[in-house]
Structure 1
């Protein structure tokens, strides 16, 4: 691995799946203006996720649509002309 190309400023960050409120603590270089108090009583930066392994259909075995800001409708409208019915 080449030296000097990877970030050095890893810190603890809480990632939260907004579709089911699942949260986990991990190390990351991602930054955020929002913070959250974790189970250990410390405050960590909060990174909001739209989907994680707790809500992804591949891992859960069931289909669960989380439509944020009408993205599914925009996609269907954009690609309707390619629909083979």
Structure 2
């Protein structure tokens, strides 16, 4: 095998789904500014908006909770175009 081809910061990292507080630990090179203690061991923490435990595809639920308000921002941004079309008719 070739030497020095693997990243040096490959380590165990805790990922936390902020929508349902689920935490899972896996190896990653993701940068983290915070830490979390799980079962007495401290891990770097990466916060996620959505993961396998909250995504509708994996959970079978059709409703998706929009925590950042992006859907509302999109609807408000393009609402004016829809009104102009109705006035022209």
TM-score (norm 2): 0.74
Cα displacement string for residues 15-69 of structure 1 (whole angstroms, at most 9, x for unaligned residues): 0101011110011111211110012x11001100000011111111112332223
SS, match of residue 73 in structure 2: helix
Distance in 1, matches of 2:5 and 2:65, equals 36
Q: Flag as ranges the 4+ runs of structure 1 deviating above 6 A.
A: none
Residue 78 of structure 1 aligns to a residue whose secondary structure is: helix
Question: 1:25 and 2:25 equivalent?
Answer: yes
On the 8 A contact 1:55/1:64 being kept in 2, the answer is no
For this pair of structures, how many residues does the alignment match?
A: 80
**TM-score, normalising length: structure 1:** 0.77
In our comparison, the structure showing a higher alpha carbon Rg is: 2
Structure 2 residues not aligned, in runs of 5+: 83-89
